[in-house]
Amino acid sequence: MKNTKSIYLVDDNEDDIMLIREALQSVITDVKITEISDGQHLLDLVSLKASDSPALILMDMCMPRVGGIEAVTSLKSNPDTTHIPVVMLSTCSDQRLIQGAYDEGVSAFITKPIKPIEYKVMAEAINVCFLNSYVCNETIDIIDSFKDKSVLVIEDSKQHSELMNFAFKRHIPDLQIIYKNSKTETLNFLTENWFALPHPPDLILLDLYLPNRQDGLSLLDSIRYFFLFHGTPIVPVVILSASDHIEDIKASYEHNANAYIVKSIDIHESISYFKSLFHFWCNTISVPKPT
C-alpha cells in the first residue's frame, strides 16, 4: 500500500492554486494537498505540526505578509524544518532571483506555467524529481538526444557502476557520463579538472552510502562548499540511495541536497527513470546559468 504524499501548496493567487492542484492530482496518486495563502500562514502551520511535516512545499515567491524567499530563509534556519524540500514557483525568470532562491536553500526553482498543458508537465517534474515515483506519463514529450549534456555519477560499487554504464549507453547514448567512486577521487576531480571542462556536468548523482552515510553527507557538504567558494552557479545534486528510511532522506535535505531518489532494484527501470529525471532538470526546472 502506498503512503499518501503530503504537499503544502503556498500561493495567494486562487487561479494558480486551482491549476496547480488539478495538475498535481491528475499526475500523482495518493496525494494530500494543503492550500496555504501566504508565507506567515505556512510558518505558523509547520511550527504547529513539526512532527508531521509535508513531503514537499510548493511556494510562490511573491506573497503578502511573508514572501517566499523570507519564508524559505526561516524554514532553513530552523532545525525542525530545514529538512523539508521547497520548490519555489515564480512568474519571474531573472537569473539573480533564481540564484538568490538557491542561496537561501530552495531545492528547485520553476517558472510558473502559462498554458494548462505546461502545468501538467510541471506536475510530472515534481512527481519524478521529488516524490520518488517510477511511473512516468508517456504523454510527456521527453527529448531523445542529450548531446552536449553530461552527468557526474559518484558511486562506490564497481558492479553497480558497470550496470549503470551499460544501461545509460542503451537508454541515453548521447549523454556523457563521468564516474567517480570515492570522496577523495571526486574532490580531486573538482579541484583539478572542473574548470578545464568545456562545460560542467548538468547534474550530479551522489550515492548516499559511500560507503557509509556520513561519508556521503560529508562529500555533499564539500561539493556545496566548492561551488560557494568559487562563486560558480550550482549544479543540482541528487542523492541516490537504496535506502528509503526517512532519517536518510531528512539528513540529505538538511545538507542541502536538491532531491533524493530511492534506487530501483531494476537497473534498466532506473536508467529509464533517470532519463525523465534528467529531462526535467534540464528543461522544466530552472538553475542558475554560467555567466
pLDDT band at 6 (very low <50, low <70, confident <90, very high): very high
pLDDT for 28: 86
User: Domain 5-130: which topology?
Assistant: Rossmann fold (3.40.50)
**Domain residue ranges of the chain, discontinuous segments joined by +:** 5-130, 150-283
Average pLDDT, stretch 163-172? 80
170 versus 195: which is more confidently predicted?
195
pLDDT band at 139 (very low <50, low <70, confident <90, very high): very low
- How many residues comprise the chain? 291
> What is the pLDDT of the chain when averaged over all its residues?
87
Same fold for the pair 5-130 and 150-283: yes
Average pLDDT, stretch 125-140? 71
Residue 1, pLDDT above cutoff 50: no
Average pLDDT, stretch 136-147? 58
Ramachandran category for residue 243: left, alpha or beta (phi over 0 → left; psi -120 to 50 → alpha): beta
- Which residues does residue 240 pair with via DSSP β-bridges, in sequence order? 207, 261
237 versus 3: which is more confidently predicted?
237
Nearest to 75 by CA among 110, 112, 37, 101: 101
Average pLDDT, stretch 130-155? 72
pLDDT tens-digit readout, 174-230: 889 999 999 999 999 999 999 999 888 999 999 999 999 999 999 999 999 999 999
pLDDT tens-digit readout, 36-68: 988 888 998 988 776 688 999 999 888 778 888
What is the rounded CA–CA span in Å between residue 256 and residue 124?
Answer: 22
* Longest distance between any two alpha carbons in the chain, whole Å: 53
Which of 67-71, 149-153, 287-291 comes out lowest in average pLDDT?
287-291
Q: Which secondary-structure segment (H or E) carries 36? A: strand 31-36
Residue 164, pLDDT above cutoff 90: no
The residue behind cell 517558472 is 111
pLDDT tens-digit readout, 222-278: 999 999 999 888 899 999 898 999 999 999 999 999 999 988 777 667 777 888 888
CB-CB contact of 12 with 64 (8 Å)? yes
pLDDT for 268: 66
pLDDT for 34: 94
What is the rounded CA–CA span in Å between residue 133 and residue 127?
Answer: 6
pLDDT tens-digit readout, 74-130: 999 999 999 999 999 988 878 888 888 999 999 999 998 888 888 999 999 999 899
Is the CATH number 3.40.50.2300 carried by domain 150-283?
Answer: yes
